[in-house]
Structures are given as C-alpha cells and as structure tokens.
C-alpha cells in the first residue's frame, strides 16, 4: 500500500500517527539484534518504517535486505531511502527493480550527502544531480507504481544560505511528482508550524510529516546541532547544560521535550511525526507511552523499567556469553542507556550511529583545501594532526569538532606522538573511580564511580609500523592492540581462551561504571568485529579526502599512496592504575 494513502487517511480522521526510521547496522550481530527490535516496535503500530541508504550505495544490499524483512516478514509498510549522489544509472535501476520485486512500493528520493567538489560530484547518467532529477526519473520509468517521498528543510538546507531560493527548490521537488514530505529533524515546534503553514500557502498539498529525534545523549545532540545548524530553543539548551553529566537526566529531558513538541504540533493540526530511532527503542517507547499513542499493548521491559536510576547489564551478557531472557533484557537496556557510538558494543543494533568517523567529509573541495591544506609529503600530514591537537585547526577529515574536554589533559602527549608521525584519530585518558557526576568525565546515574582504560588509536606509516608493533607485543598482556591496513590484513594480541587464533579474538572493556544497588555497567567495548567495521570507514575517509583534489594531482597521488601504506592501530593499556604508562609505547 502507498504510504501517501495511509497518511491522507490518518490526516482526514485527525488521528495521531507515527513512523520509525532505522539504519542498516554495521555488523551482522547488530543486524540480527535489530530484527528482534523491529519486531517488538512493529507491535506499536507505526504507519510505516523507513530504512536509510548509505552514500554512494555503500549500504545498498543491507538496506534492501532490511527493507525486505520489514515489508515481508514483519508486515510493516516500508519506505526505502534512495540517494543519487555518486550513484550511476545502473545502480539506481537495480535498486528500484529489487525494491519492486520485494514488494516495496515507497521510496524516499534524496540527493545524498554533500558532494566533494565539482570534479567529483558525480551525476548519474541522465542528469541525476539532485533529488528532483531522481523523482522525475522514477516517475518516467515506473509511472505511479512507486509512492515517492522527498525531504523538506524548515530552516533551509545548510548548503544554501538563501532560504527563499531553497524553498523554491523544495517546491520543485514536490511538483516533480512527490507524494509526501518528511522534514529534517526539528527541535523548535514553532519553526516547523510556520514552515508547514508556508508550504500550504504556496499550494503544496501533499502530506508533510515532521522529523523528530528524541535526545539520546548530550554529546550526540551537541554534534547533531553543530552539523545541521538546526534551531534549538534556548530553554532546552540551558537545561541540557545543567543535566549533561547525568546520562539518564539527559534522556529524561529528551523524552520530555519530544512529548511537549508532539503535543504542540497536534494542537496546530499536525498529527503525525516521523521518529528517527538511531535503532534504539527505549526513548521512543517512552515518548509514545506518554502521548498514549501506539496499539501494541503493554510496553516491553525495556521501557517499563526505564527509571531515573539508570540501567544494568549482567556480567555474562557483557562478556558475550549466553543469556537468558532476563539477561537479554538487561543487555538491550544497556545498549539504549549508553549508546556511546564509536566505542559501543558491536552487538548493539545502534553500534556506530553517533560518533563515527563518517565516510563523507563535511567540506567541499575548496573548504577542504582551505582548512587541511594541500598535503604532498608525510610532514604535511604530521603538521595537520599537530595543528588539530593544539587547537589551531578546527577539524580533521576524521573528526568534525575540536578535541573534547576530557582529551585536553592529553594534549602534550598527543602533540608529542603526532610529531613523531603517529597520527591520532581517537584517544581517552585512564580513570580510576571518578565520580559519575564529574563535569568532564562523568556518566551514568548519580552516586556512582566510573573507570576507563587509556587508549590511543592512530594511523602509523609503514616505516614506523614494524618497530611499533614489536614494542606493543613486548608489553603484553598489559598492552592490548588491534591493527589493520587498507588491504584487510589484521593483527591483534587480544585472544580469548588462551588461543592465538584470530577467530578467538576477545573483547576488551574500555569503560565501566559502578553505581549504588547495581551490577557493573560495561557499555564500551572493542573487539575484532567493531574494530574492522571502523577500519573500513577510516580508510574510506582517506579516499574521500583524496577526491578533493583533481585526478592525478600530486595531492591525490600522495593521499592515495599514504592510505595504501599505513596501518590503523588501536592501543589499550589495561593497567588503568598507571594513567601515563601508555605513552611509553610511542
């Protein structure tokens, strides 16, 4: 059934409705656990679910697989995202053909992430430069078979400073054949209400559904606001600042704000909301419960037991052992309560959703050259990383923002090892029982203590790698390392059951917390599966950076060769009682 028909029916009845959005997980275990999660959430009665599409078709097969399961197995009307950035016509045709074969009748037509400059902004054959071209093409090839949605930007697209011109582009997308609109995430209901009214005044009659993402964590929301430039009410900003050291308080505030926003929208006659889940269910279920929306009966244990005292995970679940039903619930709760992104649990459906490297750079070619220069030798890369660590350069291809507060205490050592040619992309200091309310390092409910092992992740040029690896191996078992290159070679000394087989690679805990009346919470792990998932993105980012320069230019040849020859290495010092010992490895 077409989503537009379901939306029009709900709107005509002035009946509140909602939909969910998921992304394809990076790991097989994450995907398997997401299927369990979607099955539970489907019982709540979403009008539809949507599945995102990786830039350039990076997640094409997994997106189609996930869409097929949602549509055919779980029986939920499914919208497949489809982008045209760096997608040739054959890829578009294949995606549409496979979607139709799977019974998927709804497509959200998008341009995709920011192009990397005119030379590498690849339009598909036939002129697929923008979403409007994709809409026209789908209509020309499939007539009215597909129900087509497009994105709307209540505050204008970040790339277009002229909001009126941006609105003209948006209206053209709708007139090209769109059946419904899903808006960018909004946090100020008045902004959306005014924009929706403007759409109606300009003759746009298709259903428009506001996008909503309940705030999951302080850092993830801060990053989201930074990247999208979305308006955030001052009161919400102030309350977030006050609550930022208490993870549960931030989540509670996120739920409270989402509920208030939906109520304001409903009062204005806007009855639907499209909820970006980040593959998490706790906050989403709490929002729907507070609004008395959903037809799924009693909430799952995840939502029923979401309280201000935080969450627990059993030792067996944290270690990856077999779990019973109660333990499975506990594991789902820790995934939802501590979704720490880059260093989360690779088994979580939400693994990697928040603080990823991100394979798509946030600059066009001109901006990249202005900020990151024109590297042609190793010293240029070294100077760039040192400048970033010292605060003279605002970002790196692997990091959108300046160093976080907890990393500031490491600046001297990070500067030193970058100067030696170890280019750092992630790090954290060791902690030994810091209060959970600490403004810089704290997390979790009040009254607890948090612990961390020091780690550093860095690119290591080939000439340095051999000796570096020897030092790491000689420091075992205190030092655990994971290393991989672009070609897929992998090395580690983190083995389980005293086996040195790569298949027996063990998980290494990086962060844990102890709270009153709770078992140890262990939300942050690294293992072979999670490391290799991020290795792919880390080296993809080298490629994206290289394409900022003309083909066969010295800069492009150098960056490509450097990526081919260096290793990505993660170093963990398991002795958190010696906070500075890790630096002796460099």
Mention every residue, 6+ apart, whose C-beta is less than 8 A from residue 166.
153, 156, 157, 160
Alpha-carbon span 508 to 524, nearest angstrom: 9
Q: How far apart are the first and last CA of the chain?
A: 60
Burial class (CB in 10 A: 0-12, 13-18, 19+), 390: middle
Mention every residue, 6+ apart, whose C-beta is less than 8 A from residue 435.
442, 448, 449, 450
Mention every residue, 6+ apart, whose C-beta is less than 8 A from residue 320.
347, 507
Alpha-carbon span 511 to 264, nearest angstrom: 39
Active-site annotation holder among 21, 281, 457, 555: 21
Tokens (6 digits) for 294: 């959903």
Beta strands in 440-500 (DSSP E): 449-452, 454-460, 479-485, 490-492
Which three-class secondary structure state does DSSP give residue 439? coil
Q: How far is CA 132 from CA 87, 506, 568, in A?
A: 15, 48, 40
Q: Which 8-state DSSP code applies to residue 461?
A: -
Residue for token pair 């982008």: 83
**CA 169, 170, 174, 178 torsion: positive or negative?**
positive
Mention every residue, 6+ apart, whose C-beta is less than 8 A from residue 38.
22, 49, 69, 70, 74, 76
Q: How far is CA 361 from CA 322, 367, 397, in A?
A: 40, 10, 6
Alpha-carbon span 46 to 277, nearest angstrom: 12
Is 62:45 a contact under the CB 8 Å cutoff?
A: no
The answer to whether residue 21 is catalytic is yes
Query: Is residue 448 within a helix (H) or strand (E), and if so which, with residue range?
Result: none
Neighbours of 282 (CB within 10 A): 25
Mention every residue, 6+ apart, whose C-beta is less than 8 A from residue 299.
285, 289
In terms of phi and psi (left: phi > 0; alpha: psi -120 to 50; beta: otherwise), the region of 292 is: left
Q: What share of the chain is helix, strand, coil (3-state, %, to 5)?
A: 45, 15, 40
Residue for token pair 């679940």: 317
554-565 vs 528-546: helix crossing angle, rounded to 10: 170
* Catalytic residue annotation: 21
């Amino acid at each position: 059934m077409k989503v537009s028909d379901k939306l029009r029916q709900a709107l005509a009845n002035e009946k509140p409705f909602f939909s969910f959005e998921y992304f394809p997980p990076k790991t097989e275990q994450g995907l398997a656990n997401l299927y369990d999660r979607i099955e539970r959430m489907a019982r709540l009665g979403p009008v539809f679910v949507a599945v995102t599409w990786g830039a350039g078709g990076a997640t094409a097969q997994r997106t189609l697989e996930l869409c097929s399961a949602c549509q055919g197995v779980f029986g939920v009307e499914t919208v497949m995202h489809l982008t045209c950035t760096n997608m040739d016509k054959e890829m578009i045709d294949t995606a549409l053909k496979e979607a139709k074969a799977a019974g998927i009748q709804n497509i959200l037509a998008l341009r995709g992430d920011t192009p990397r400059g005119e030379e590498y902004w690849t339009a598909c054959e036939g002129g697929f430069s923008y979403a409007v071209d994709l809409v026209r093409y789908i209509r020309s090839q499939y007539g009215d078979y597909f129900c087509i949605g497009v994105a709307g930007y209540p505050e204008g697209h970040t790339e277009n400073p002229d909001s009126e011109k941006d609105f003209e582009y948006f209206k053209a997308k709708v007139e090209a054949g769109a059946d419904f609109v899903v808006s960018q995430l909004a946090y100020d209901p008045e902004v959306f209400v005014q924009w929706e009214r403007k759409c109606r005044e300009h003759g746009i009659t298709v259903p428009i559904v506001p996008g909503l993402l309940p705030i999951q964590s302080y850092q993830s929301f801060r990053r989201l606001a930074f990247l999208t430039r979305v308006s955030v009410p001052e009161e919400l900003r102030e309350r977030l600042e006050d609550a930022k050291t208490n993870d549960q308080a931030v989540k509670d505030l996120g739920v409270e704000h989402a509920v208030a926003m939906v109520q304001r929208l409903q009062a204005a006659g806007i009855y639907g909301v499209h909820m970006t889940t980040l593959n998490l269910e706790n906050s989403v279920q709490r929002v729907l419960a507070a609004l008395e929306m959903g037809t799924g009966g009693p909430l799952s244990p995840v939502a029923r037991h979401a309280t201000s005292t935080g969450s627990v995970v059993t030792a067996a679940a944290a270690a990856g052992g077999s779990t019973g039903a109660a333990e499975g619930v506990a594991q789902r709760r820790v995934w939802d309560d501590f979704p720490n992104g880059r260093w989360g649990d690779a088994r979580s459906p939400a693994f990697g959703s928040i603080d990823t490297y991100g394979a798509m750079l946030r600059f066009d070619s001109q901006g990249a050259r202005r900020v990151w220069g024109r590297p042609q030798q190793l010293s240029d890369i070294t100077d760039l990383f040192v400048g970033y660590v010292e605060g003279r350069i605002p970002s790196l291809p692997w990091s959108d923002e300046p160093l976080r507060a907890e990393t500031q205490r490491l600046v001297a050592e990070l500067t030193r090892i970058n100067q030696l040619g170890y280019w750092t992309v992630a790090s954290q200091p060791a902690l030994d029982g810091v209060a959970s309310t600490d403004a810089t390092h704290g997390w979790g409910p009040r009254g607890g203590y948090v612990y961390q092992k020091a780690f550093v992740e860095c690119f290591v040029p080939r000439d340095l790698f051999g000796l570096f690896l020897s030092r790491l191996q000689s420091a075992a078992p205190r030092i655990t390392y994971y290393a991989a290159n672009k070609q897929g070679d992998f090395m580690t000394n983190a083995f389980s059951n005293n086996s040195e087989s790569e298949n027996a690679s063990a998980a290494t805990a990086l962060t844990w917390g102890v709270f009153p009346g709770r078992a140890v919470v262990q939300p942050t792990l690294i293992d072979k599966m999670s490391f290799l998932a991020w290795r792919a993105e880390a080296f993809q980012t080298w490629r994206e950076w290289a394409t900022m320069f003309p083909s066969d230019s010295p800069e492009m040849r150098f960056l490509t060769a450097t990526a081919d020859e260096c290793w990505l290495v993660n170093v963990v010092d398991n002795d958190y009682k010696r906070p500075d010992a890790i630096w002796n490895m460099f």
